[in-house]
Structure 1
Amino acid sequence: MKTLIIYTHPNHQSLSYAFLQKVVQGSRENPKISEVRVLDLYEEGFNPVLVFNEHKRRRDMHADPDLAIYREQLSWAEKIVFVYPIWWGRPPAMLMGYIDQMFSSGFAYKDKGGMLPEGLLKGKSVVCISSMKGPVLYPLYWLNNAHKVLMKKALFNYVGIKKVKFFEFGSMESPRGKQQQKLEKVYDYFKTVER
């Protein structure tokens, strides 16, 4: 299983970075995972800003040569892992800018003229690992589960990815947040996951 980890946090001293390290460690110890690649969007200097003008049109985004390396990574991966914090009830703008550009028509999906498109990323699986300052039930009860709905239904299911798992950890700035226990939970999952 070829695994691409997309990490989105500007601070390598953060808890998100500790989760990244556990994903990498568990994946490298898992005999079912043949190769691991990490894309650190901030370290990479990924430009999340959409630009459309007389030279760049939205309908051509799937063939933008500046994004070819990122399309290759997504095509290569069988499992895609996103590691990011929840800020204002959603992933960071950097990650949303990546999603806006990479999950484009002609690459991630194809319009068929009906209500739903043909997903072109079928057969892949996704894991989202997110952490937040607020309590874990805050997104569910206060925000109507907006984060999971956005990621699973509005994005991944739309492009054909049906297998989506979430690790959504709350109270991560609390001394009672059980951070080490949650880091080990992520490590154990990636050490043993089969698909």
Structure 2
Amino acid sequence: MKLLIIYTHPNHESLNGAFLQQVIKGAGENGKIEEVRVTDLYGEGFNPVLVFNKQKRRRDLDKDPELVPYWDNIRWADKIVFIYPIWWGRPPAMLMGFIDRIFVSGFGYRSNGGLLPEGLLKGKSVVCISTMMGPALYLRLWLNNAHKMLMRKALFNYVGMKDVRFFQFGSMESPKGKQQAKLERVYRYFRTVQ
């Protein structure tokens, strides 16, 4: 299995940075994972701003040479891991901009004349690891799981990725947040996942 990690947090000393290290550590001890690549959106200075105008037409967004390395990594990967915080009930703007620019028509999907387009990234699986200051129940009960619906249905299923798993951790700034247990849970998952 080839594993691509898309890390979206400006601080490697954060809890998200610790989750990144646990994924790498667990994957390194898993004989089924042959290679791990990390895309650090903040670290690489990824430009999340989607632009299309007279010179850069929307229908040509899948031809942007700046994005070829990102597309190549996604094509290469069997499993894609997204690590990010939940801010204001959704992923950071940096990750949303990445999604806007990367999963475009011609790469992520194509129109087939039906009600929904054909997803072009079939067969890949996804793991989302997200953290938030508030309780996890806030997303489920108050926001009706909007975060999971957005990621699973509006993005991953749309581009053909049906196998989606979430580790959504709440109360991460609380002394009672059980951070170490959650880090170990993620480590164990990647040490044994097939």
Is residue 2:133 matched to residue 1:133?
yes
Residue number in structure 2 paired with 1:149: 149
Structure 1 position 57, deviation (Å): 1.2
Identity value in percent: 72
Structure 1 position 12, deviation (Å): 1.2
- Over the aligned positions, Cα root-mean-square deviation in angstroms equals 0.6
Residue number in structure 1 paired with 2:109: 109
Residue number in structure 2 paired with 1:95: 95
Q: Secondary structure at the match of 2:42?
A: helix
User: d(CA) in 1 for partners of 2:188 and 2:31?
Assistant: 13
Give structure 1 stretches of 5+ with no counterpart: none
Residue number in structure 2 paired with 1:69: 69
* Length-normalised TM-score, structure 1: 0.98
**Matched residue count:** 194
User: d(CA) in 2 for partners of 1:177 and 1:155?
Assistant: 29
User: d(CA) in 1 for partners of 2:51 and 2:162?
Assistant: 30
Q: Secondary structure at the match of 2:43?
A: helix
User: d(CA) in 2 for partners of 1:44 and 1:163?
Assistant: 28
Q: Which runs of 4+ in 1 moved over 2 A?
A: none
* Length-normalised TM-score, structure 2: 0.99
Residue number in structure 1 paired with 2:47: 47
User: d(CA) in 1 for partners of 2:6 and 2:173?
Assistant: 23
Structure 1 position 93, deviation (Å): 0.2
Structure 1 position 15, deviation (Å): 0.3
Give structure 2 stretches of 5+ with no counterpart: none
Quick one: which amino acid aligns to residue 65 of structure 1? P
1:40-91 deviations in whole A, cap 9, x for unaligned?
A: 0000000000111222111111111111111101100010000000000000
